[in-house]
């Protein structure tokens, strides 16, 4: 009625936390021999609690909830059919009102059959859209079978698209999956140049930032691991002279021209390689021990899930 008054409330502190992210890690390692034990662990960043977890292999839900309790999933003993691409789903609330899907995690279980490799050309995990990509299945004890020459095959992609991002592997006629690799296609101007294959413990890891227009490494770049800066713009490459399991993680690079996508760098124990080399030598020296193996490359791909 012609008068005005105002009052101010007490101050309230509002804290905004970073968005929660789900991630999968493997213990002891994602490269196994059948009969070994392995545990996949799903972790969610942030301060929230009360998460429940579900597990998927090649996009198929794993219904054995007893092994997936508490955010972990254990295979003991691991068998060849357990090879695949694993993802965890974290949910909070009843009914679930918040859902996060993790990164995809390759799990590769190898038997005593001949070692089969998926060969990617160009040999890197990230590729520019519109570039071409060739994939072939190579048996170390048989001739290389280039799938790009097979009638009706789709394993040579003449013009990559972001929808081609996914996990590719070789598959036998019996359905056994071999040597899965993650391929990422980026429609931006910068990619991280790293090998599609795991790094061997003790070896040297070299990362570059590659620009689309020049198709050559960028001279200055920042490199990140698991979201933290590990090397600033002093050089265009990052070198780790003696790789260990602690160097395993999610890497990307950033420059003035743009930022690459993230790539998971896996580290494989050197002891495994020695065993595989011995087996390969024995099988090569004694060909009568080999069963007839016919590789049928199906250019199989499993795409990672995104958040709801």
Number of domains in the chain: 3
Q: What is the pLDDT of residue 283?
A: 37
Label residue 248 by pLDDT band (50, 70, 90).
confident
What is the arithmetic mean of pLDDT over 285-308? 38
The tokens of 26 are what? Answer: 């493997």
CA distance 175 to 234: 48
Q: What is the pLDDT of residue 160?
A: 92
CA distance 268 to 243: 10
- Residue 274 host element (H or E): helix 270-285
What is the arithmetic mean of pLDDT over 215-234? 83
User: Which of 137, 138, 166 lies closest to 58 in space, CA to CA?
Assistant: 166
Label the pairing between strands 116-121 and 38-44.
Answer: unpaired
Q: Is residue 244 in some structural domain?
A: yes
Q: Is residue 203 in some structural domain?
A: yes
Q: pLDDT, tens digit, for every residue of 96-136?
A: 778 889 988 888 887 654 456 788 889 899 999 999 998 88
Whether residues 64 and 95 share a domain: the answer is yes
Q: Is residue 35 in some structural domain?
A: yes
Whether residues 96 and 138 share a domain: the answer is no
Whether residues 174 and 208 share a domain: the answer is no
More confident site: 107 or 286: 107
Report whether pLDDT(79) > 60: yes
Report whether pLDDT(295) > 60: no
More confident site: 83 or 110: 83
Which range of residues forms the domain containing residue 80?
Answer: 21-110
Q: What is the pLDDT of residue 292?
A: 27
More confident site: 119 or 56: 56
What is the arithmetic mean of pLDDT over 54-68? 76
Here the CATH number for the domain that contains residue 202 is 2.60.40.10
Q: Is residue 283 in some structural domain?
A: no
Q: What is the pLDDT of residue 203?
A: 93
CA distances from 41 to 67, 87, 89, 211 (A): 11, 10, 11, 35
- Residue 297 host element (H or E): strand 295-302
Whether residues 62 and 105 share a domain: the answer is yes
Whether residues 134 and 198 share a domain: the answer is no
Q: Is residue 296 in some structural domain?
A: no
């Amino acid at each position: 009625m012609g008068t005005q008054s105002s009052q101010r409330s007490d101050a309230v502190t509002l804290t905004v936390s970073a968005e929660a992210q789900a991630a999968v890690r493997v213990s002891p390692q994602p490269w196994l021999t059948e009969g070994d034990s392995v545990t996949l662990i799903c972790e969610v960043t942030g301060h929230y609690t009360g998460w429940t977890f579900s597990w998927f292999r090649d996009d198929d839900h794993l219904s054995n909830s007893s092994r997936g309790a508490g955010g972990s999933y254990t295979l003991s003993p691991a068998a060849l059919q357990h090879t695949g691409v694993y993802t965890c789903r974290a949910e909070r609330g009843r009914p679930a009102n918040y859902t996060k899907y993790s990164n995809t995690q390759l799990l590769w279980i190898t038997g005593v059959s001949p070692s089969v490799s998926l060969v990617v050309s160009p040999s890197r995990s990230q590729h520019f859209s519109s570039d071409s990509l060739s994939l072939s299945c190579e048996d170390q004890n048989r001739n290389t079978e280039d799938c790009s020459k097979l009638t009706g095959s789709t394993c040579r992609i003449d013009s990559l698209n972001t929808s081609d991002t996914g996990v590719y592997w070789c598959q036998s006629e019996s359905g056994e999956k071999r040597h899965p690799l993650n391929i990422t296609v980026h429609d931006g101007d910068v990619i991280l140049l790293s090998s599609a294959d795991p790094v061997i413990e003790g070896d040297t890891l070299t990362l570059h930032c590659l620009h689309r227009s020049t198709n050559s490494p960028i001279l200055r770049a920042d490199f990140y691991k698991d979201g933290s800066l590990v090397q600033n713009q002093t050089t265009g490459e990052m070198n780790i002279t003696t790789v260990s399991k602690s160097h395993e993680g999610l890497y990307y690079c950033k420059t003035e021209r743009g930022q690459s996508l993230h790539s998971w760098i896996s580290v494989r124990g050197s002891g495994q390689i020695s065993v595989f080399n011995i087996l390969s030598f024995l099988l090569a020296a004694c060909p009568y021990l080999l069963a007839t193996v016919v590789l049928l490359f199906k250019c199989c791909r499993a795409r990672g899930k995104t958040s709801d």
